[in-house]
């Protein structure tokens, strides 16, 4: 640009110089013509005066003086016919009039001098000399062309010098401009481009500030602006990182929808809930990713929030994915505004409330069971009284009269059945009655009472039961809780064992396999059931973990483990499936300490302290 400026400057100077020179040339010639007219008039007047004074030699003198003038090449005086009378220099014979000069004579008027060009650009002024009313001759003055040219050259020279000075001055000015304007402007331009192409790259900033002019101030302002953008961007990035980490790590499902009901942002927990990869969500709608009617319910809620611009809370959704148990989600939706007037997105918070729901159900079930247990216990209790009467009566009947044989046989059978009823009611009562304090309990009775409860299931499935325990073995414990543990383990074993399988229940006085100092009882409940896969075995003690889709709550083993840990005991399981070769089955080993002090401590211990005991 600057080079162009210099070129333009030079061109305009040349043009200007040419026009000026041409004008000066014209002026020089104009002035020369005037001068010639004036000089011719002056010479004519002097010649006229000399003639009037009758001193024609004075006219010759005037011509000589005129010829001395620097601008005059030759001055001469002729008679009316053109014959040379006086000449300023040289020989008269050589100064005879040129035919072009001769041709001027007839054109001459009395008052006006005449200026003309002749023979190769020679200029000459001529004026008639009148004295005493008669034409006495002509005064001729020829200009000195060298003098005019000199003048012209001087003008040209000064124009050229002026032009050169002008160009040099302009170039200097341009250089100065380049230094103080163009260079900083170039830096600013490059800085702006780099900011536009890679806004994140602030390595090129701040831009260097040279000088103290307005451009330097603009660059300073630009640097401040970039620094402030950078600061804002880093603040924004921090906020975004916070939001992103919240979105990624929040243990709840989060999703955002635009006005067309499409996902614009979603976190992993939400994606896990829909069962689709995270990347598949963006740009899709709820019905494309979730089963009906949940998708519709959730979408309706989103539309409602857009419409009413009010949050919607605690929408309970039940999702039944194929071959899985139903999940319960708790959804809340709220408007996301970018300006106070406009709701741009709707955010949805989703909580998987399945476990809560299941524990509520389990609690309800437990309460129902407890109520049923209480009812069963009260019925058993009420049956017990008339039963005792029946037993006594049967005894009397057997001993009081001599009964004939078949009748006696029937009474004995009735007595036998009445005893069975009594046993069942006793066990039902014992099963329900929870001791509030630990006490010494007979383990054989306890295990029998549990097995009696499952007697009919065992015989229906034709499961061979092997009992291996000492009738006198007792343990200082919470009998009700220990009974619950065995009930869970036996129930699980029966659930897993196919028809014709075996169930083995064993109890032995033993020592803790982790701490041989501690004595107690080791129980083994082993079945020849289906066994557990390693993944199932690893999770078996988790609350709500079950493989029995409809019938199981998944709490049995968890509750059992809690009880064992609380009693400072140990539990260990080994299991294998048919896939692992050999015969499948599961073996639970439990150690319960026979420790008065520990049992009493458990009663008063805080729950955290109690659960510190280990289970393996
Ligand atoms: N003896 C066993 N043989 C095979 N699998 C077992 C055995 N005991 C437990 N399991 C597995 O462990 C899971 C958890 O058992 P747990 O007793 O906690 O719950 P559940 O039996 O499924 O339900 P609930 O006891 O509440 O009715 C079972 O679903 C089952 O898959
Ligand atoms: Mg169970």
Domain CATH number, residue 418:
1.10.287
pLDDT above 60 for 610: no
pLDDT tens digit sequence for 485-510: 998 999 999 999 999 999 999 999 99
For residue 507, the domain's CATH number is 3.30.565.10
Judge if 496 and 597 occupy the same domain.
yes
Mean predicted confidence (pLDDT) in 315-321: 79
Return the pLDDT at 571. 95
pLDDT, greater one: 58 or 366: 58
For residue 608, name the pLDDT band (cuts at 50, 70, 90). very low
Three-class HEC string of 358-421: HHHHHHHHHHHHHHHHHHHHHHHHHHHHHHHHHHHHHHHHHHHCCCCHHHHHHHHHHHHHHHHH
Q: Is residue 217 part of a domain?
A: no
Specify the pTM. Answer: 0.42
Are residues 141 and 16 part of one domain? Answer: yes
Nearest residue CA, atom 11 of ligand 1? 540
Residue nearest to atom 9 of ligand 1 (CA): 492
How many domains is the chain built from?
4
Atom 31 of ligand 1: nearest residue by CA position = 547
Tell me the pLDDT of the chain averaged across its residues. Answer: 83
CA 195/CA 273 separation, integer angstroms: 42
pLDDT in tens, 53-77: 888 888 888 889 988 888 888 899 9
What mean pLDDT is predicted for residues 401-407? 75
pLDDT band at 613 (very low <50, low <70, confident <90, very high): very low
444 in Cβ contact with 478 (< 8 Å): no
Residue ID of nearest Cα to ligand 1 atom 27: 552
**Is 202 inside any structural domain?**
no
CA distances from 541 to 65, 147, 275, 597, 616 (A): 143, 128, 26, 28, 10
Which residues contact residue 58 at a Cβ distance below 8 angstroms, ignoring those fewer than 6 apart?
46, 49, 50
Residue 230 lies in a domain: no
Q: Which domain holds residue 258?
A: 250-352
Residue-wise pLDDT tens digits, 141-188: 988 877 777 877 887 788 788 878 887 887 788 788 777 777 778 888
Ligand nearest to the CA of 540: 1
344 plus 358 within the same structural domain: no
Query: Is the domain of 538 the same as that of 604?
Result: yes
Q: Is residue 449 part of a domain?
A: yes
Same domain for 450 and 590?
A: yes
Q: What is the pLDDT of residue 614?
A: 32
The residue that leads in pLDDT, 186 or 263, is 263
Of 556, 575, 579, the one to substitute when testing ligand 1's pocket (max ligand atoms within 8 A of C-beta) is 556
Q: Which of 359, 525, 527, 546 to mutate to test the pocket of ligand 1 (most atoms within 8 A of CB)?
A: 546
Calculate the CA dihedral of residues 399, 400, 401, 405 and round it to 10 degrees: -20
For a substitution probing ligand 1, which of 454, 554, 559 has the most ligand atoms within 8 Å of its CB? 554
Task: Give the residue-averaged pLDDT of 74-103.
Answer: 87
Which ligand approaches the C-alpha of residue 501 most closely? Answer: 1
Q: Which atom of ligand 1 is nearest to the CA of 531?
A: 4
Residue 460 lies in a domain: yes
* pLDDT band for position 436 (cuts 50, 70, 90): low
Let me know if residue 373 belongs to a domain.
yes
Q: What pLDDT sits at residue 150?
A: 81
Whether residue 486 is found in the same domain as residue 348? no
Cα–ligand 1 centroid distance for 513 (angstroms): 25
Dihedral of CA atoms 435, 438, 440, 444 in degrees, nearest 10, equals: 60
Q: Which protein residue's CA is at the shortest distance from atom 19 of ligand 1?
A: 554
Cβ atoms within 10 A of the Cβ of 72, count?
23
**Rounded distance from Cα 530 to ligand 1 centre (Å):** 11
Same domain flag for 388 and 462:
no
**What percent of the chain stands above pLDDT 90?**
21
Average pLDDT over residues 444-467: 91
**Closest listed ligand to the CA of 531:** 1
| DSSP code string of 286-355 | HHHHS-TTHHHHHHHHHHHHHHH-S-EEEEEEEE--TTS--EEEEEEEEEEESSSS-EEEEEEEEEE-HH
Give the binding-site residues of ligand 1, using a 6 Å CB cut-off: 488, 492-493, 496, 527, 529-532, 536, 540, 545-548, 552-558, 586
Percent of the chain residues topping a pLDDT of 70: 92
21-35, 346-360, 366-380, 539-553: which range is least confident on average?
A: 366-380
| Inside any domain, residue 167 | no
* CA 556 to ligand 1 centroid distance, Å: 7
- Mean pLDDT is lowest, of 30-44, 269-283, 331-345, 367-381, for 367-381
Please report, for the domain that includes residue 75, its CATH number. 3.30.450.20
Q: Residue 491: its pLDDT value, please?
A: 93
pLDDT at 605 over 80: no
Asked which of 326, 352, 378 is the last residue of a domain, the reply is: 352
| Pocket probe mutation, ligand 1, options 458, 484, 552, 573, max atoms within 8 Å of Cβ | 552
| pLDDT at residue 430, as a whole number | 65
Distance between Cα 354 and ligand 1 center (Å): 19
Note the ligand closest to the C-alpha atom of 536.
1
Find the 576 Cα to ligand 2 centroid distance in Å: 18
Domain match, 380 and 396 both: yes
**H or E segment to which residue 264 belongs:** strand 263-266
Q: Which atom of ligand 1 is nearest to the CA of 547?
A: 29
Measuring from atom 25 of ligand 1, which residue has the nearest CA? 556
The answer to whether residue 585 is domain-embedded is yes
b/e for 547-581, b at 16 or more Cβ within 10 A?
A: eeeeebbbbbbbbbbbbbbbbbbbbebebbbeeee
pLDDT at 466 over 90: yes
Q: How far is the CA of 616 from the centre of ligand 2 (A)?
A: 18
234: nearest Cα among 208, 202, 265, 206: 202
Q: Which ligand is nearest to the CA of 550?
A: 1
Pocket test for ligand 1, best of 492, 532, 547 (most atoms within 8 A of CB): 492
Same domain, 488 and 348: no
Model pLDDT, residue 520: 93
Q: What's the pLDDT at 557?
A: 92
Q: Last residue of a domain, which of 133, 148, 163?
A: 148
Ligand 1: which residue has its CA nearest to atom 4? 531
List CB-based neighbours of ion ligand 2 within 5 Å.
492, 556
Summarize the confidence of residues 436-455 as an average pLDDT.
87
**Of ligand 1's atoms, which has the minimum distance to the CA of residue 527?**
1
Distance from Cα 555 to the centre of ligand 2, integer Å: 7
Ligand 1 atom closest to 558 (CA): 18
Query: Does 366 share its domain with 348?
Result: no
pLDDT grade for 536, boundaries at 50, 70 and 90: very high
Planar angle of CA 272, 275, 277, nearest 5 degrees: 80
Higher pLDDT residue, 461 or 452? Answer: 461
User: Which of 397, 11, 174, 279 shows the shortest CA–CA distance to 266?
Assistant: 279
Distance between CA atoms of 392 and 384, rounded to whole angstroms? 12
Q: What is the pLDDT of residue 540?
A: 94
Distance from residue 525's CA to the centre of ligand 1 (Å): 14
Q: Are residues 587 and 491 in the same domain?
A: yes
- Please say if the pLDDT value at position 442 is more than 60: yes
Q: Which residue has the tokens 């009880």?
A: 563
Please report the DSSP string for 76-90 in residue order. EEE-TT--EEEESSS
Q: Which ligand is nearest to the CA of 555?
A: 1
Which domain-ending residue is among 336, 352, 368?
352
More confident site: 616 or 311 = 311
Average pLDDT over residues 248-268: 88
Ligand sitting nearest the alpha carbon of 576: 1
Nearest atom (ligand 1) to Cα of 588:
1
Asked if 598 and 460 sit in the same domain, the reply is: yes
**In angstroms, what is the span from residue 479 Cα to ligand 2's centroid?**
19
Strand 464-468 versus strand 502-511 pairing type: parallel
């Amino acid at each position: 640009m600057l080079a162009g400026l210099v070129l333009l400057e030079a061109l305009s100077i040349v043009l200007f110089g040419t026009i000026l020179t041409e004008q000066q040339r014209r002026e020089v010639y104009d002035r020369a013509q005037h001068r010639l007219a004036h000089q011719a008039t002056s010479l004519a007047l002097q010649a006229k005066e000399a003639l009037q004074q009758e001193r024609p030699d004075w006219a010759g003198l005037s011509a000589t003086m005129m010829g001395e003038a620097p601008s005059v090449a030759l001055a001469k005086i002729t008679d009316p016919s053109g014959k040379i009378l006086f000449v300023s220099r040289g020989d008269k014979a050589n100064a005879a009039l040129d035919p072009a000069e001769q041709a001027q004579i007839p054109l001459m008027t009395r008052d006006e001098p005449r200026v003309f060009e002749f023979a190769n650009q020679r200029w000459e002024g001529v004026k008639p000399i009148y004295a005493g009313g008669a034409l006495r001759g002509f005064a001729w003055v020829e200009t000195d062309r060298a003098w005019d040219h000199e003048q012209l050259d001087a003008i040209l020279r000064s124009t050229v010098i002026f032009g050169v000075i002008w160009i040099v001055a302009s170039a200097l000015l341009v250089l100065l401009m380049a230094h103080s304007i163009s260079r900083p402007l170039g830096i600013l331009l490059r800085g702006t481009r780099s900011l536009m192409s890679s806004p994140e790259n602030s390595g090129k900033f701040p831009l260097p500030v040279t000088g103290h002019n307005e451009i330097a101030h603009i660059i300073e302002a630009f640097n401040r602006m970039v620094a402030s953008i950078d600061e804002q961007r880093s603040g924004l990035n921090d906020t975004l990182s916070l939001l992103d980490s919240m979105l990624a790590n929040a243990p709840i499902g989060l999703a955002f929808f635009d006005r067309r009901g499409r996902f614009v942002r979603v976190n992993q927990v939400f994606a896990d809930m829909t069962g689709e990869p995270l990347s598949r969500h963006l740009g899709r709608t709820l019905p494309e990713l979730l089963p009906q009617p949940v998708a519709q319910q959730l979408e309706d809620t989103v539309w409602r929030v857009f419409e009413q611009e009010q949050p919607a809370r605690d929408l309970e959704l039940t999702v039944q994915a194929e071959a899985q148990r139903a999940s319960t989600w708790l959804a809340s939706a709220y408007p996301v505004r970018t300006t106070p007037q406009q709701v741009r997105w709707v955010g949805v918070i989703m909580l998987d409330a399945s476990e809560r729901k299941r524990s509520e159900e389990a609690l309800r079930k437990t309460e129902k069971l407890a109520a049923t247990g209480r009812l069963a216990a009260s019925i058993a209790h009420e049956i017990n009284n008339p039963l005792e009467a029946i037993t006594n009566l049967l005894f009397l009947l057997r001993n009081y009269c001599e009964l004939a044989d078949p009748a006696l046989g029937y009474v004995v059978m009735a007595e036998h059945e009445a005893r069975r009823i009594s046993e069942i009611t006793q066990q039902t009562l014992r099963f329900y009655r929870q001791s509030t304090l630990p006490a010494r309990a007979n383990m054989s009775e306890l295990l029998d009472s549990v097995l009696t409860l499952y007697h009919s299931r065992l015989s229906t499935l034709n499961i061979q039961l092997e009992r291996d325990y000492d009738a006198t073995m007792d343990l200082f414990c919470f009998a009700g809780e220990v009974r619950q543990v065995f009930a869970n383990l036996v129930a699980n074993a029966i659930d897993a064992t196919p028809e014709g399988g075996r169930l083995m229940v064993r109890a032995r006085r033993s020592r803790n396999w982790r701490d041989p100092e501690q004595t107690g009882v080791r129980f083994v409940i082993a079945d020849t059931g289906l066994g557990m896969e390693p993944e199932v075995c690893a999770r078996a003690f988790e609350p709500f973990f079950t493989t029995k889709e409809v019938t199981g709550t998944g709490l049995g083993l968890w509750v059992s483990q809690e009880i064992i840990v609380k009693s400072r005991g140990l539990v260990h399981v080994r299991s294998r499936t048919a896939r692992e070769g050999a015969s499948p089955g599961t073996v639970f080993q439990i150690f319960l300490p026979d420790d008065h002090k520990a049992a009493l401590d458990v009663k008063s211990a805080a729950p955290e302290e109690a659960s510190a005991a280990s289970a393996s």
